[in-house]
Amino acid sequence: MSDARLSDPAPPRGRRWSWTDPKLRSSVIQITLALILVWLAWSFYANAEANLSRLGIASGFGFLDDRAGFAISQTLIPYNENMSYGRAFLVGLLNTLLVAFFGIILATILGFLVGVARLSKNVVIKALASAYVEITRNLPPLFQIMFWYLAVLAALPTPRQSWGIGLQPIFSGIASGLSAIGLGGLAAPFSGLAEGVGAPDVYINNRGLILPRPVFGEGSSGILIALAVAVVVSFIIARWAKKRREATGQQFPVFLTGLGLIIVLPFLAAAAVGFPVHLEVPQLRGFNFAGGVSVIPEFVALLIALSTYTAGFIAEIVRSGILAVSKGQSEAAHSLGLRGGPTLRLVVIPQAMRVIVPPLTSQYLNLTKNSSLGVAVGYPDLFAVFAGTTLNQTGQAIEIIAMTMAVYLVISIVTSLVMGWYNKRVALVER
Amino acid sequence: MKRFLLAAAGLLSLVGAVHAGTLDDVKTRGALNCGVSQGLPGFSTPNDKNDWSGFDVDFCRAIAAAIFNDPTKVKFTPLSAKDRFTALTSGAVDVLSRNTTWTMSRDTTLGFNFAGVTYYDGQGFLVRKSLGLKGSKELDGASICVQTGTSNELNVSDYFRANNMKYREVIAFGTLDETVKAYESGRCDVFTSDRSQLAAVRLKLTNPADHVVLPETISKEPLGPLVRHGDDQWFDLVKWTYFALLDAEELGVNQKNVDEMLSSPNPEVKRLLGTDGKYGEGVGLTPDWVVRIVKATGNYGEIYDRNLGPATPLGLERGLNNLWNKGGIQYGMPVR
Amino acid sequence: MSDSTSGQALSPHAFVSAAFREPEPPPTSDRGPLRWARAHLFGSVPQVLLTLFGIWLLYAVIPPLVRFFITDAVWEGTNRNACLPADVGHSVGACWPFIWAKINQLTYGFYPADERWRVNVVYALGALLLLPLLIQKAPYKRLNAIVFFGVYPVLAFVLLTGGNFALRHFLLGYLGFDGLFPAGAEVGGLSVAFWADFILSSALLALVAAGISRAVAGPGAGRGAARSTLIVMALLGVVLLAADVNFGLVPVETRLWGGLLVTLVIAVTGITVSLPFGILLALGRRSKLPLVKISSILFIEFWRGVPLITVLFFATYMLPLFLPGQLTIDGLLRALVGVALFASAYMAEVVRGGLQAIPKGQYEGAMALGLPGSLMMRLVVLPQALKLVIPGIVNNFIGLFKDTTLVLIVSIFDLLGAMRAAFTDPNWATPTTLFTGFGFAGIVYFVFCFGMSRYSMALEKRLDRAQRH
């Protein structure tokens, strides 16, 4: 210490509070901070230790192998009450990811549409889009979730008075359409399907949306392989088309070709193995539906609320992103002879994306984090299943809350890494 | 930065209370903190002025009367099923009197002690009359609403499995109100819970007559008050408050005759009311502690009849909750 | 993209026109209602379709809403019968008597009726102090801010809780001087033991601070450190004094608070607490000291990476286990701790944005004047940065305001929670109760959030103009 002081001239007058040696100062501050942090961590640890042993609460992660004993209303992987808490954790995690995945897709589509609509020349559309943005952004997401669940979806009819929507008319319509244009051979499977499915197969009621479940018979793997092949071929075509465009300027309808491939190839494969797929149709049995797949209203309410709420923010991001592209860019594109559509697609949006992507990422993360609000309406996401039910049954608050927080943190970190990579890719190369 | 740290250190030094026993804490505070349910007719309901009444509430009032000779010195904390244990663990309440089922894991690994079984109950099913169900064996394929964090949530899937039935789905909600709301809106066919709770919930529905509790009882649900591990004196006090209520009923001591009973020659009554021996001091109170309890709330039977009995809207028969010598299994340990 | 043309030979597909095109005639005037309609409504077939779609949407939404909330609504009544279509005789819209019946619960929760004037005083005082703060031209900004951020919270705290906290001794008891003060000794509603302790520990702290600074930076620094410590402790003492004195107010526990009161208390506390902590964290994140930097980054990214509801669960379920023994913390306070941690992390990022926007020249200028780091921040950088981030802070506040609804998941009844509790009242079970309740709560939330967002936009515009000069 005395050395440090010697190296300094006497501190100037009037600056009584200055620590003139920055090195010394920084080490003092850091040591103090380290001491405080260590003290905090130690006292947390010691207190938790003391409290847990005083109360006789179990600790450790052994509970993950114990029998869960409770049912979960939506499971993407096989689960029943005889399985472990660890399995319940997985079920909850997948439910969180499911609602986040669909929520992000819906919110992005809706957000882009509304964002573009806000820039529309059409005053009616513009006003509607503005109203949408203001309303969705200024109401709490939990309020919106509860509104959709308690007020809207609960008002749907009971199972016995369900609204039925038939697949039958659709299939027979396709069959007659095909035979009308002289493709009678292809019509056969459709009329077969139409007969097979019988009267309404899709029902909407206050228990959710009940759909027929496809049951895959023998040989179904061929269809999957065909689908995979179609996807790979589409990718190859897209790359080739891009190369050709860059070399010659000629366009190729990549999207349509790909879509056609992805539909036609699996269909041909299915025809080749003789349509091994049939639909398990929900039926009203007793007081409830049996069979089929049901999309529970908790999921629907959460999905609608999250995607409409987030779409409001995305719309604003998209709008400011597009506005950030200078007008000269689209004027230049027009003068090159590009029309409105290609201008937007090839010139404006790629540049706007640079502005849009970073805030968009944080909106996606917000949506994922907000999905934990499903607990308020009984949606069995990670939070409800794990930090709710499991926490209550086992009482192991520290382990469970730490695990739950860790999952969200990992999701956050992975998303920011992926988006960081994307950001780097689209970033402007400045010289 | 430094100044801030110093100020923070000063603040931290202010935190840190010296902890005595729960009874001493309650006495210093001047009130008992009691955790109850968030509004269940017959067990614990607040009126518009936030005055609480009910079976579980009266048990806490009995403890308060024993300590302070004043049944109003209780602060009630309404707790949902999922919050109740944390509230007790964290010390936010001194006793949890919230129709909680006595289970082994709660008694051991969760870190609590059950003081007794104030109400022997079992799990049942509430359904709409219009479904025309006769018994719970007909519930195959049903959608079931249940409150999360309860033993009911665990029992129901076991019951279906044991009876080779399949539920369509079990939807777990965070609070009783949410669960009931979901049942009432038609989200589920069945609401399952303890039978006493079903009876209480039915009264809260818009048209109670449209709903019926199915006859079967699918589980044992011994409900009782609990305290946290680590304070035996407090545990004794809560436990013996419960026994004293039962003993008072058994010995015929009630709110009206308690003063006369003080001169009773019956040695059992004398020990109970503290005219002989100083048993109350064993739980850290004065010998006449039971007199205060009975004066304030009456004996067990009076509490039951006032809140749950046939004369109340709930109209629950004593059944198992009768005294052991009247066909039930309520059995107060002797004061000796 | 930028390198595609330069230096490359023209591709064979390039096309260069050999002749000038004929100039097009000047565009016709685009004024007048018809022209306007053509430009904005009916320009092309898709435009027409869009317009028609929009008009249909408006037609499908607005008239039913007006019917529900105004023309078909029931305005008077004492119970559900007033709102049952069967009893009224026509279709029924909103059931406003339901709101009138529950309005006290929605604004005050279970706050005792006789004491509600205290809440009203807090509301009124808050509005009275906030308004001139928001208006740019109002005078005494500095004084106003000090009163609003310094005095008002203490006042509100005492008014709402009733004050008169029995502060116990904390130091002398440990050291075995229990007998020195008779238990519960009070002078004018103040516990003597506590204040003896407080003065003693303030003196001790000042001594320690003086010692450290003296050892580190010479004798002059010691006196300064002691003085500033004493000032901090004296300010803290005033706050504690306010909480300790018996003003004769009936204590009202936070369990009884509810509705809008809780919503506002959480939002305002969250933002007030998060501001200083957010600034510290933001400075920490930009610090050159590795430990300070890393711990700030970890803190900020941790709380920003998890949902608020897990933070609330952390505060409600885990925090009690981390605290010594039987130290119990009030349920609302626990939620407030969670909200404050969460909001601080977000605030830090907002402030960091402001710090980054300050041109490097400002730093260099301050350094050239010989200002040490702390003074440079306090006098040059922070005033500019904070002014820049006011809109960001307001936006943060809007987010926080919306997030307060989450406390209902940990059983604290804010406005939305109180509304949901009101829904379960069988006396008001009607087909339209839910929509009425959601309508009312929605309007309240919307008015608050929309108002604030407009304010923040206006601010942004003004700042923008100020920046451009």
Would an 8 Å CB–CB cutoff place C411 in contact with chain B?
Answer: yes
More confident position, C78 or B222: B222
> What is the DSSP pairing of strand A202-205 with strand A283-285?
unpaired
Chain A residues with CB-CB distance to C429 below 8 A: none
Cα torsion A155, A159, A162, A167 to 10°: value is 130
pLDDT-based confidence at A91, cuts 50/70/90? very high
Q: What is the mean pLDDT of residues A331-344?
A: 85
- Using a CB–CB cutoff of 8 Å, tell me whether B148 touches chain C: no
Arithmetic mean of pLDDT over chain C: 83
CA angle (B195 as vertex; B189, B200 as ends), nearest 5: 85
State the pairing for strand pair B95-101/B32-37.
Answer: parallel
pLDDT above 70: residue B11? no
Closest Cα partner for B157 from A75, A90, A387, A96? A75
What pLDDT is attached to residue C21? 80
pLDDT of residue B174 exceeding 90, the answer is no
Our CA dihedral for B279, B281, B282, B284, rounded to 10 degrees, sits at 150
Q: HEC states along chain A?
A: CHHHHHCCCCCCCCCCCCCCCHHHHHHHHHHHHHHHHHHHHHHHHHHHHHHHHHHCCCCCCHHHHCECCCCCCCCCCCCCCCCEHHHHHHHHHHHHHHHHHHHHHHHHHHHHHHHHHHCCCCHHHHHHHHHHHHHHHCCCHHHHHHHHHHHHHHHCCCHHHCEEECCHHHHHHHHHHHHHCCCHHHHHHHHHHHHHHCCCCEEEECCEEEECEEEECCCHHHHHHHHHHHHHHHHHHHHHHHHHHHHHCCCCCHHHHHHHHHHHHHHHHHHHCCCCEEEECCEEECCEEECCEEECHHHHHHHHHHHHHHHHHHHHHHHHHHHHCCHHHHHHHHHCCCCHHHHHHHHHHHHHHHHHHHHHHHHHHHHHHHHHHHHHHCCCCHHHHHHHHHHHHHCCHHHHHHHHHHHHHHHHHHHHHHHHHHHHHHCCCCC
| Range from A181-195, C293-307, C379-393 carrying the lowest mean pLDDT | A181-195
Give pLDDT, residue B20: 60
Instruction: Write out the residues of chain B at the interface with chain A, using a CB-CB cutoff of 8 A.
Output: 1-2, 5, 81-82, 85-86, 89, 105, 108-111, 131, 138, 140-143, 148-149, 153-154, 156-158, 161, 167-174, 178, 181-182, 185-187, 189, 228-230
Higher pLDDT, C185 or B2: C185
Most confident of A187-196, C36-45, C392-401: C392-401
Closest residue on chain C to B87 (Cα): C317
Question: Cα–Cα distance between B124 and B193 in angstroms, integer?
Answer: 6
Query: Residues C237-283: pLDDT tens digits?
Result: 888 888 877 777 888 888 888 899 999 999 989 988 898 899 999 99
What letter would DSSP give residue C379? I
Closest listed residue to residue B141, CA positions, set B189, B182, B177, B109: B189
Going by pLDDT thresholds of 50, 70 and 90, the confidence category of residue C13 is: low
**Residue A163 binned pLDDT confidence (cut-offs 50, 70, 90):** confident
Lowest mean pLDDT among A286-295, C273-282, C397-406: A286-295
Q: Is the pLDDT of residue B321 over 90?
A: yes
Q: Are strands B190-194 and B123-128 parallel, antiparallel or unpaired?
A: antiparallel
Q: Which amino acid is at C41?
A: L
Residue B15 has pLDDT above 60, yes or no: no
Q: How many CA atoms lie within 13 A of A331 on its CB side?
A: 3
Q: What percent of chain A has pLDDT over 70?
A: 88
Amino acid sitting at position A385: V
Q: Does A389 touch chain C (CB under 8 A)?
A: no
Average pLDDT, chain B: 87
Reply yes or no on whether the pLDDT at B19 is more than 70.
no
Query: What mean pLDDT is predicted for residues C168-186?
Result: 63
Q: Which residue has the higher pLDDT, B209 or A13?
A: B209
pLDDT band at C26, cuts 50/70/90?
Answer: confident
Nearest residue of B to residue A146, measured between CA atoms: B178
Check residues C390 and C300 and name the one with the higher pLDDT: C300
Separation CA B283–CA A147 (nearest Å): 52
Per-residue pLDDT tens for A114-161? Answer: 998 998 888 888 999 999 999 999 999 999 999 999 888 888 888 777
Q: Among C51-55, C78-82, C230-234, C353-357, where is mean pLDDT lowest? A: C78-82
Tokens representing residue C466 in the block: 């100020």
Alpha-carbon distance of A17 to C373, in angstroms, equals 12
Q: How far is CA A222 from CA A268, B14, C3, C225, in A?
A: 10, 72, 46, 80
Q: At residue A103, does pLDDT exceed 80?
A: yes
* Stronger pLDDT, C424 or A298, i.e. the higher one: A298
pLDDT of residue B266: 93
* Chain C neighbors (3+ CB pairs < 8 Å): A, B
Across residues A72-79, what is the average pLDDT?
90
pLDDT for A174 beyond 60: yes
Residue B198, classed as helix, strand or coil, is helix
Q: How far is B172 from chain A (nearest CA, A)?
A: 6
Kindly tell me if the per-residue pLDDT of A366 is higher than 60.
Answer: yes
φ, ψ at A289 (rounded to 5°): -90, 145
- What pTM was estimated for this model as a whole? 0.83
Residue B13: partners with Cβ closer than 8 Å, 6 or more residues away: C170, C171, C201
- Chain B environment of C320 (Cβ under 8 Å): 86, 89-92
Q: Of B168, B207, B165, which Cα lies nearest the Cα of B190?
A: B168
Chains touching B (at least 3 CB pairs under 8 A) are A, C
Q: Does the CA dihedral B51-B56-B58-B59 come out positive or negative?
A: negative
For residue B59, pLDDT beyond 90: yes
Q: Measure in Å the smallest separation between the Cα of C185 and chain A Cα atoms.
A: 31
Confidence of residue C3 (pLDDT cuts 50, 70, 90): very low
Do residues A265 and A226 make contact, with C-beta atoms less than 8 angstroms apart?
yes
Q: Do A401 and C318 touch (CB under 8 A)?
A: yes
Helix, strand, coil shares of chain C, percent, nearest 5, are 70, 0, 25
For C51, the closest of A30, A122, A151 (CB atoms) is A122
Of A206, A294, A394, Cβ closest to residue B187: A206
**Lowest-pLDDT range of B111-115, C1-5, C34-38, C128-132:** C1-5
- Mean pLDDT computed over A55-83: 87
Instruction: Give the pLDDT band of residue B9 (cuts 50, 70, 90).
Output: very low
- The whole-chain average pLDDT of chain A stands at 83
The answer to which of B151-160, C7-16, C128-137 has the lowest mean pLDDT is C7-16
pLDDT attached to residue C265: 92
- CA B92 to the chain's CA centroid: 17
Q: Count of CB contacts below 8 A, A vs C?
A: 181
Beta bridge partners of C186: C191
Interface predicted TM-score (ipTM) = 0.82
